[in-house]
């Protein structure tokens, strides 16, 4: 783990050497990663839009024939939540209200009643042998999650903090839907707050992602390493754009 964290530090140092980046180009880079994260994060959850179709929906406001309305709304909502991360990234902490707002931005077009609100019914994760918390436990679990994240910032590398926050949030599973996407947005918010690049998980890595997350119920070493690898690849992509 130490080796990959050192590599991440080296790559980030190289990225930082290009700063300051001109505003127009910086905006283009941000849009590039917004489309990339929106496409991959939605695709991991079954959204049928391709990356090109996601770009068309977001940049041109055109619907894709034959594709479900929900898939379009997920793309638009996720992109708005991603933009909101940059407002939150100015702070160095995360609040429970921040997480609710991220979910609300992503989800309100799909289900306004439950957007940004904790579920009131029991839930299960298909394919997982682990039970999810009961609805009455969610409020306390979420309140405890925030100070735990802040405590981890003092003791661990920020990549580890981001991965653990993702893992713990998913295990709480506080919302009716959109928990995976909110977890990935939360993870990337934590990275952005410490001036790191975001981590994108390609669809091709879905099986390893799910399997390492399931194993993280017992030991999160593989999951943290997986997230570190995804960040490293996104950093390399960032450098490709800069060069």
Tens-place pLDDT, residues 51-103: 999 999 999 999 999 999 999 999 999 999 999 999 999 998 999 999 999 99
Q: Give the pLDDT of residue 199.
A: 98
Domains: count for the chain: 1
What lies within 8 Å, CB to CB, of 185 at 6+ separation is: 41, 78, 81, 82, 85, 102, 106
Q: Is 3 a member of any domain?
A: no
Q: How many helices (H) and strands (E) does the chain have?
A: 10, 0
In a domain, 64, yes or no: yes
Q: How far apart are CA 139 and CA 145, in angstroms?
A: 10
12 within a domain of the structure (yes/no): no
Domain harbouring 78, CATH code: 1.10.3290.10
Look at residue 13 and tell me if it is in a domain. no
CB 52 within 8 A of CB 32: no
Task: Please report, rounded to a whole number, the percentage of residues in the chain having pLDDT higher than 70.
Answer: 100
- 174: in domain: yes
What domain range includes position 146?
A: 18-116+127-242
111: in domain = yes
pLDDT, tens digit, 9 for 90 and up, residues 19-37: 899 999 999 999 999 999 9
Asked whether residue 72 is assigned to any structural domain, the reply reads yes
Instruction: Please report whether residue 10 resides in a domain.
Output: no
pTM: 0.97
């Amino acid at each position: 783990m130490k080796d990959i964290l050192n590599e991440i530090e080296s790559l980030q140092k190289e990225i930082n050497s290009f700063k300051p980046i001109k505003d127009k180009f910086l905006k283009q880079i941000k849009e590039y990663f917004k489309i990339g994260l929106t496409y991959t994060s939605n695709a991991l959850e079954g959204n049928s839009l391709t990356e090109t179709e996601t770009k068309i929906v977001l940049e041109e406001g055109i619907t894709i024939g034959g594709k479900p309305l929900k898939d379009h709304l997920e793309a638009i909502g996720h992109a708005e939540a991603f933009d909101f991360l940059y407002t939150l990234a100015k702070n160095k902490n995360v609040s429970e209200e921040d997480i609710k707002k991220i979910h609300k931005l992503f989800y309100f077009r799909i289900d306004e009643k439950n957007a940004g609100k904790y579920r009131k019914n029991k839930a299960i994760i298909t394919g997982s042998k682990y039970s999810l918390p009961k609805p009455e436990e969610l409020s306390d679990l979420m309140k405890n999650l925030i100070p735990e994240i802040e405590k981890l910032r003092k003791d661990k590398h920020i990549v580890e903090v981001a991965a653990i926050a993702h893992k713990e949030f998913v295990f709480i599973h506080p919302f009716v839907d959109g928990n995976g996407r909110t977890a990935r947005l939360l993870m990337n918010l934590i990275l952005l707050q410490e001036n790191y690049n975001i981590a994108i998980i390609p669809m091709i890595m879905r099986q390893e992602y799910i399997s390492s997350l399931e194993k993280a119920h017992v030991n999160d070493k593989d999951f943290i390493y997986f997230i570190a690898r995804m960040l490293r690849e996104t950093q390399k992509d960032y450098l490709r754009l800069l060069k």
